[in-house]
Amino acid sequence: MNINFELYKVFYYVAKHLSFSEAASDLYISQSAVSQAVKQLENSLGCRLFVRTTKQVSLTQEGERLFSHIEQAFHIIKTGERAVRQIRSLQEGEIKIGASDTICKYYFLPYFRQFIQSYPHIKLKITNRPSPVCLELLKKGAVDLAAVNLPASLAEDFTVHRRTTIRDVFIAGPAFAQLRGQTLSLADLARYPVLMLEKNTVTRHFFDALLEASGVSIIPEVELGSVDLLIELTKIGLGLSFVAEDYAATEVERGEIFVLDVAAPIPYRYWGVVSNRNIPLPLAAQKFLEMLVETKSQSAPRTRNSPQ
């Protein structure tokens, strides 16, 4: 099969924007040329790729499937171009990292600072998303590395370069002072309002699995997308929360909240730095990864009390 890569390039931009006119603008060609290229590709593949009406453009089922592969291929090509430009020196380039807000704040800030000091001409592009979304971005090649809360299992395409322990705890504010010093079961906790992260997070999946394994049902009083806000609401007495111990350490030290004594053992979980083994890492990303792996400490200093 003779593949005309220009046709796939046109297809990529139309599918990306769902617009023939925007694709034409990006490619510096006429809209008519875009339409002809799409028609030629459809004839070659023997199927329609787009449904086009006067108001909108949408992908067919075949178009969706093709775009999922072509999008990854384009990211791989762009990664290759960056690798070639940077192979001789680290005087330019960028690292694309996907990371959750909490991992950036509580673990990565010292490493970002150290890397920028060592390689001031390298740009750090940080995409803050929940861990599952970061892994999807990594799978597509949209980021070079993902710093994520590790799920129970990872796809074979991923390599974990560094794994760090997370210890989760239940916390409470002064409004629940009567619980201080008590040994509580998970069933005991179900009698109180519980604040929790949203369901699209690894932490929430872990929390739900912990309850299921113990035969306990807890319906969160409030669901949030931010650990920091979770801690703040705990401080003012809206409920109990389930968070990583490191994230609440400063408030615990200040006496603003306290850690509950829970009888049920809570398994450790991990966060890690992950790459896609099918996509070559740019040189700058390799250097950043080497810096992380070579660090003797298994976790960066907490950043709330550290000047940044």
Domain boundaries defined on the chain: 5-68, 90-160+278-294, 168-267
Token pair of 182 as six digits: 């008590």
Cα dihedral 187, 191, 192, 195 sign: positive
What is the pLDDT, as a whole number, of residue 149?
Answer: 87
What is the pLDDT, as a whole number, of residue 307?
Answer: 27
Q: Cα–Cα distance between 301 and 75 in angstroms, integer?
A: 34
3-class secondary-structure state, position 105: helix
> Which residue, chain included where needed, has tokens 């990864």?
289
CA end-to-end distance (rounded Å), the chain? 56
Q: Cα–Cα distance between 142 and 82 in angstroms, integer?
A: 13
CATH of range 90-160+278-294; options 3.10.20.90, 2.40.40.20, 3.40.190.10, 3.40.50.2300: 3.40.190.10
> What is the number of alpha carbons within 13 Å of residue 53 lying toward its C-beta?
5
Strand-strand pairing, 57-59 and 168-172:
unpaired
Helices (H), the chain: 5-17, 20-27, 31-45, 61-86, 101-103, 109-118, 131-140, 186-189, 202-214, 227-235, 245-254, 283-294
The yes-or-no answer to whether 5-68 and 90-160+278-294 have a common fold is no
| Fold observed for domain 5-68 | Arc Repressor Mutant, subunit A (1.10.10)
What is the pLDDT, as a whole number, of residue 81?
Answer: 83
Regions of the chain short of the pLDDT cut 70:
1-3, 86-89, 152, 295-308
Beta-ladder partners of 57: 52
> Which residue, chain included where needed, has tokens 């931010």?
226
Is 92 within 8 Å of 120 (Cβ atoms)?
Answer: no
Token pair of 111 as six digits: 């490493």
> Which residue, chain included where needed, has tokens 């892994």?
135
pTM, whole model, 2 decimals?
Answer: 0.64
Domain at 168-267: CATH architecture: 3-Layer(aba) Sandwich (3.40)
3-state helix, strand, coil in the chain (%, to 5): 45, 20, 35
What is the pLDDT, as a whole number, of residue 107?
Answer: 86
Is 224 within 8 Å of 272 (Cβ atoms)?
Answer: no
Token pair of 37 as six digits: 């290229």
Q: Cα–Cα distance between 9 and 37 in angstroms, integer?
A: 9
What is the pLDDT, as a whole number, of residue 301?
Answer: 40
